[in-house]
Chain A
């Protein structure tokens, strides 16, 4: 019960933070990405605040041997830069620029403007599933077992 409530709480904090930050506003996102037009630097403050809070906290949190409700810290083990990382991220940037929505804000907007972002979210989930199927079928060279 407590475990479930804390999961809900972290999701709520994430969604609320996104709403307060301005990330749910695609035109504000586009204003931030429009470096060569009339630029709104606000979203650099979202990234800055999130990274700094997490940078300090992460070092304190992972000093413990394990998380409160789980056996271990599930941290990414992949290292090195491969073509997938770059190609996937490049694609994501194009989609983000086109719609002014990245995955968190798209989900967080769903209850407020379902008719506007509904199709975006559905197609994003389709894209995620297709991407995962493609990736599973073609394992990365770096992570292939000998």
Chain B
């Protein structure tokens, strides 16, 4: 293993991570909801009850706007270099949606919130998706 020191951004990543943690806290403290974005989106595309959609939509609008505000404040673009193109992107998107619906969570719900609650289910989920993601990238970058 070689560390990529040129790409390494510990401070910005830590600061961003703490902000994400505070976003989750705000949602729990004020609204009693777990900040799992796949679950929040899932409840919009296939609602489980009436009166359960508006809070989700408001949170998602905030998520859409947040990075735009960051860009305006910083006065420069955010680095977003894609790794997939063509058909691979929609295929990846479908698998991400299907997987997070079946596994009841993603990096935010199981990762940030579940791990912080020391949930054994979330620890298993995070361990599983980290391993399959690492294997997938290994195959793409070093095998194919």
Contacts and interface: CB of A to CB of B under 8 A. Distances in A.
Bound pair (A, B): yes
Interface of A: 3-4, 6-31, 33-43, 45-55, 57-58, 61-62, 64, 66-76, 78-81, 84-104, 106-113, 116-117, 119-135
Contacts, number: 507
B78 A51 contact: no
Contact of B37 (A25, A50, A96, A107): A107
25 contacts: A4-B54, A6-B30, A8-B58, A14-B108, A15-B65, A18-B66, A40-B7, A42-B13, A46-B13, A47-B115, A55-B116, A58-B116, A64-B29, A68-B29, A87-B103, A91-B103, A95-B95, A97-B140, A109-B67, A111-B65, A111-B68, A116-B82, A127-B95, A127-B98, A134-B101
Q: Is the interface of A mostly helix, strand, loop or mixed?
A: helix
Contact of A30 (B58, B83, B93): B83
Interface residues of B, number: 112
B99 A93 contact: yes
Interface string B1-45: 111100111101111111111111111111111110110011001
Interface in B81-117: 81-84, 88-108, 110-117
Interface of B: 1-4, 7-10, 12-35, 37-38, 41-42, 45-46, 54-55, 58-71, 77-84, 88-108, 110-121, 124-126, 128-138, 140-142
A70 B32 CA distance: 6
Contacts of A18: 16, 20, 63, 66-67
